[in-house]
């Protein structure tokens, strides 16, 4: 039970980190100009951030379901928590990558906070099982 709580906590934090990464990237894309236009007006930048946002928003209800499952001591706790951790972890990693690509080199520097968020995503993705571990747990629950 404690492992499930910790795993769910990591999934929820990953979801928050992903949302904030996209927010930072979108703000930067509005401010940074190239060729006389904000970089956020370019289709490639928009699509990269939208794809990241879609993954985050698809992961959100899965995390909420896992929280409900845990609070109700539902029989699907293991499966739900693992689904939440896998989806939130992948969404956060994708959002951090999209944010870094949007910000460019400044995302690695001390001038911008993105590097702190990315490190947190990497650490939490490895904590309490990586997405592959949780996919295996979900598969075991489905095929059992």
| Domain ranges for the chain | 2-143
**Which of 21, 20, 35 has its CA nearest to residue 102?**
21
Point out which residues pair with 33 in neighbouring strands. Answer: 38
What are the average pLDDT values for consecutive 10-residue runs of the chain, which has 144 residues? 89 97 95 90 93 98 97 94 97 96 86 89 94 93 86
- Res 106: pLDDT: 81
**CATH fold label, 2-143:** Butyryl-CoA Dehydrogenase, subunit A; domain 3 (1.20.140)
- Res 58: pLDDT: 98
- Res 53: pLDDT: 98
- Res 113: pLDDT: 87
- Res 135: pLDDT: 93
**Which of 119, 134, 44 has its CA nearest to residue 85?**
134
- Res 1: pLDDT: 59
């Amino acid at each position: 039970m404690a492992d499930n709580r910790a795993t769910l906590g990591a999934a929820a934090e990953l979801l928050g980190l992903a949302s904030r990464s996209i927010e930072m990237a979108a703000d930067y894309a509005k401010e940074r100009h190239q060729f006389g236009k904000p970089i956020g007006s370019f289709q490639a930048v928009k699509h990269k951030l939208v794809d990241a946002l879609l993954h985050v928003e698809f992961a959100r209800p899965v995390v909420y379901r896992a929280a409900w499952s845990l609070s109700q001591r539902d029989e699907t706790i293991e499966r739900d928590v693992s689904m939440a951790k896998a989806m939130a972890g992948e969404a956060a990693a994708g959002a951090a990558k999209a944010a870094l690509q949007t910000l460019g080199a400044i995302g690695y520097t001390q001038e911008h906070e993105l590097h702190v968020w990315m490190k947190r995503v990497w650490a939490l993705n490895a904590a309490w099982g990586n997405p592959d571990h949780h996919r295996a747990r979900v598969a075991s629950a489905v095929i059992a």
